[in-house]
Structure 1
Amino acid sequence: MGNITSSSQRVVVGLSGGVDSAVSAWLLKQQGYEVIGIFMKNWEDDDDSEYCSSNIDFVDAAAVADVIGIEIEHVNFAAEYKDRVFAEFLREYQAGRTPNPDVLCNAEIKFKAFLDHAMRLGAEKIATGHYARVRHNQTTGKHELLKGLDPLKDQSYFLHRLNQAQLAKTLFPVGELPKTEVRRIAAEIGLPNAKKKDSTGICFIGERPFRDFLNRYIAKEPGPIKDARGRVLGKHQGLSFYTLGQRQGLGIGGVKEKGAQRGSGEHEPWFVARKDMEKNTLWVVQGHDHPWLQSHSFTANDTSWVAGEAPAPGAYAAKSRYRQADAACTLVSNTTGGVQLDFAEAQWAVTPGQSAVLYDGDVCLGGGVINTVAEAPAAQPQATLA
Structure 2
Amino acid sequence: MKKEKIIIGLSGGVDSSVAALLLQEQGYEVEALFMRNWDSMANNDVLGNDKETGEVCTQELDYNDAKQVADKLGIKLHRVDFIKEYWEYVFQYFIDEYQKGRTPNPDILCNKYIKFDKFLNYALTNLGADKIAMGHYAGVRYNEQTQQFEMIRAVDQNKDQTYFLSQLNQFQLSKTLFPLQNLTKPEIRKLAKTHGLITANKKDSTGICFIGEREFTKFLQNYIPNQPGDIVDIHTQKVVGKHIGVMYYTIGQRKGLNLGGMAEPYYVAKKDIEEKILYVASATDESLLFAKKLIVNEINWILDLAKYVDDPNNFACTAKFRYRQTDTKVRLVKISDNCYEVSCDQPVKAITEGQQAVFYLEDLCLGGGIIDKVFQ
Matches within 5 A, 1:189-208: 189-208=195-214
Matched, 1:307 2:303: yes
Q: Distance in 2 between matches of 1:113 and 1:288?
A: 47
Between the aligned partners of 1:243 and 1:220, the Cα distance in structure 2 is: 16
SS in structure 2 at match of 1:173: coil
Could you report, residue by residue, the CA deviation over 1:87-125 in whole angstroms, capped at 9, with x for unpaired residues?
111110111100000000000000000000010111111
2:181 aligns to what SS in structure 1? helix
**Aligned equivalents of 2:122, 2:253: Cα separation in 1:** 39
Q: Partner of 1:291 in structure 2?
A: 287
1:15 match: 10
Matched, 1:103 2:108: yes
Does 2:20 align with 1:25? Answer: yes
Please tell me whether residue 237 in structure 1 is matched to residue 244 in structure 2. Answer: yes
Alignment match, 1:280:
276
- Structure 1 CA distance, aligned partners of 2:151 and 2:281? 38
Runs of 4+ in structure 1 deviating by more than 6 angstroms, as ranges, are none
Counterpart residue type for residue 113 of structure 2:
E
1:161 aligned to 149, 159, 167, which one?
167
Write the deviation string for residues 15-73 of structure 1: whole angstroms up to 9, x where unpaired.
00000000000100111100010000000133894444000000000000000110001
Corresponding residue of 1:361: 362
Aligned partner of 1:184 in structure 2 is 190
**Deviates most, 213-222 or 49-58:** 49-58
Residues 335-344 or 160-169, more deviating = 335-344
Distance in 1, Cα, partners of 2:182 & 2:329: 25
Which residue of the other structure, out of 113, 119, 129, is the alignment partner of 2:124?
119
Mean CA deviation greater in 164-173 or 44-53 = 44-53
How many residue pairs align between the two structures?
A: 359
Q: What is the alpha-carbon distance in structure 2 between the residues aligned to residue 232 and residue 75 of structure 1?
A: 51
Contact 1:164–1:308 (CA under 8 A) maintained in structure 2: no
Aligned to 1:85: 90
Q: 1:355 to 1:214 in 2, by over 3 A?
A: same
Q: Select between 247-256 and 298-307 the one with higher mean Cα deviation.
A: 247-256
Matched, 1:224 2:230: yes
- CA change 1:25–1:7 in 2 (3 A) is same
**Structure 1 letter corresponding to 2:260:** G
Distance 2:262 2:335 in 1: 42
Q: Equivalent residues in 2 for 1:124-135 (5 A)?
A: 124-135=130-141
Matched residue SS, 2:124? helix
Does the Cα contact within 8 Å between 2:40 and 2:54 map onto a contact in 1?
A: no
Which amino acid in structure 2 is aligned with residue 350 of structure 1?
I
Q: Does 1:255 align with 2:256?
A: no
Q: How far 1:308 moved relative to its partner?
A: 4.8
Determine the C-alpha separation between the residues in 1 that align with 2:103 and 2:285: 21
User: Normalising by the residue count of structure 1, what TM-score does the alignment of the two structures yield?
Assistant: 0.90
- Following superposition, the deviation at residue 141 of structure 1 comes to 0.5
Alignment of 1:319 with 2:314, yes or no, is no
- Measured in 2, the distance between the counterparts of 1:288 and 1:198 equals 35
Partners of 1:245 and 1:293 within 8 A in 2: yes
Is the alpha carbon distance of 1:288 and 1:32 closer, same or farther for their aligned partners in structure 2, counting shifts above 3 Å?
farther
Go from structure 1 to structure 2 and tell me whether the alpha carbon gap of 1:352 and 1:287 turns closer, same or farther (over 3 Å shift): same
CA contact (8 A) 2:247 2:273 kept: no
Q: Percent identity?
A: 47
Q: Contact 2:40–2:53 at 8 Å: present in 1 too?
A: no
Amino acid at match of 2:35: M
SS in 2 for 1:8: coil
Q: Equivalents in 2 of 1:294, 1:143: separation in Å? A: 35
Query: RMSD across aligned C-alpha pairs, in angstroms?
Result: 1.5
- Residue 29 of structure 2 is matched in structure 1 by 34
Give the alignment partner of residue 152 of structure 2, picking from 142, 146, 151. Answer: 146
Distance 2:53 2:215 in 1: 12
